Structure 1
Amino acid sequence: MKNKNIVVIGSYLVALVMDTDRIPLTGETVLARNFRQTHGGKGSNQAVQAARLGANTSFVGRIGKDAFGESFIKLCELENVNAEFVFQSTDMPTGAGFIICDELGFNVITIDIAAINQFSRKDIDTALSLITDNSIVLLQLEIPLDTALYAAEKAKQKGAIVILNPAPAQNLMGYDLSMIDILTPNETEAKICAGLVNDAAYSDEEVAQQLLSLGCKNILVTLGEKGSFLCNSSVAMLIPSISVNEVIDTTGAGDAFNAGLAVALSEGKIIMEAAQFANVVGGLSVTKSDTIPSYHFRAQVQEYMDRSAHV
């Protein structure tokens, strides 16, 4: 069986990163170190990780006509990601994000999506030739919600498998998500998407059932070191994560997970097996700093899985 191609429709942001001993409190200034500029954005992260795992991967998005944007085009060439439908705005800069990482591996992030605000239905229509019934389309919400849902609808009409990673989270109650095959929020995002008070004591299954009412076929909630929780019309189950010796940086782990999920599905794995593979890909990413530098290649992932199978 021929593997499905992966089309990531989403965001690219240049990431400006620094390390601190701890996350600053409101109004507090703390000394930082190791300032660096890296590639970021959920969409581009997912595209690069999917390509490193061996998938035929394309990226659709919008950047500025500036040095940051040109750097992304070069990244796509380096990582073997098709950038044919990366659109460039002339009056808006490439999006940017600021990331603070503490010594425990936790982080805070702010973003200005800039040119991505102009990512439109017209752009999706222009890029539709990439999508067929042999595609997996992977979306996030760092692009306008209307554009993301329009892309999902058009992709489903063409017979593709559609994954929506609803991050940053928005309240999705009231929207028809019947074109979404798999919704992949983390635990906090799931409650926001379901319109539930974030600090209320809802179980993962209760939140997932609320999201299923929107028409999604599967809810796959990422739970960090605990793994992921799969819920659909027939199962509700925890899929355990891998254990790692040391957590260095959790930035971008969710993107690695989503890419791993898409790649496993593209190779014909059922959703439970795909989630197990995604847990490995996401788990390995926290053992290195930053986003793309932390993403493992297929041979490295396979080596870990082979080694674990003999323990």
Structure 2
Amino acid sequence: MAKDSNHFSVKDHLKAYELAYKDHISIQWEPLVVYRQHPSSKNKVALVSGGGSGHEPLHAGFVGKGMLDAACPGEIFTSPSPDQIVSAIEQSDAGSGVLLIVKNYQGDRMNFEIASELSDSQSAIVLVNDDATQTDRDAARGLAGVVVVEKILGAAAEKGDSLEDLTLLGEAIVSHTRTIGVAFSACSFRKEAGETESENVEYGVGIHGERGVSCLPKTPIDVLVRQMIDQLLLSLARVPFQPILLVNSLGAATDKDLTLATETAKAALSEKGVSVARELVGTFATTLDTDGFSITLVDATPEWLLLWDAPVDTPALNAEHGR
């Protein structure tokens, strides 16, 4: 993906992506929708998600067996249009309805709700609001936790769960999922708007280049991660028994930084008597080229862990990940 957002073409990026992953996805160009190359079995509930581009591989990278049936890419940090979403709903519907997985941003919410009303297919919405820096859950933004939601719901859909059951499961997963992101630099989109570099760490950033909820002086990653773990647990309002840990690059974090963040998070949890049940580390939901990372903690049940372990085959996630 191009580092400079002025030179980032969503369609050019997707043309290259389709060529690289032609065994997984196919693309409808007007309106723009990414579909599974091999449609799911008849009567399976279809899963559709989407959002602004600049978060790659979210969401197109998670289209495939065990996760999404379709993804609707918008322009950079811009919601997909209702006509994109309506097309995705109606072409993905295999007879049992469509579940829309939507991050909690005003534009995404509005356009997915409009599309749900316009479509003739039966549909429901799961709203992802995993931002742990917000105490008002209605206002909390959707962050990298959406990847965990899509993976678990994708497995449940593959085994034949109904639209109603998937909706309830999705709402439960969201309520047990929290994320915090930190950034050491602004993304190119913000720099192009005239922002200057700061020496501070932005704590609690969104995935559209939004500033953090607070600024901290330069802080070592291990100290920062321990603060993040404390706030994640506070937001969950309990110490999880078998958590899923997701450490996600916001675009330009080094492997060294991700490894340090992961090991520190596991150590901080271990000191509280918590052993991580599953971990996933890598680049899954970026903010263009931001130097930073997010940590997601999911208070998982044994049933969710079984779904997490179920087979998956998408461009960005496959059976080798997530153990």
Please say whether Structure 1 and Structure 2 have the same fold, judged by a TM-score greater than 0.5. Answer: no
TM-score, normalising length from structure 2?
0.34
TM-score, normalising length from structure 1?
0.35
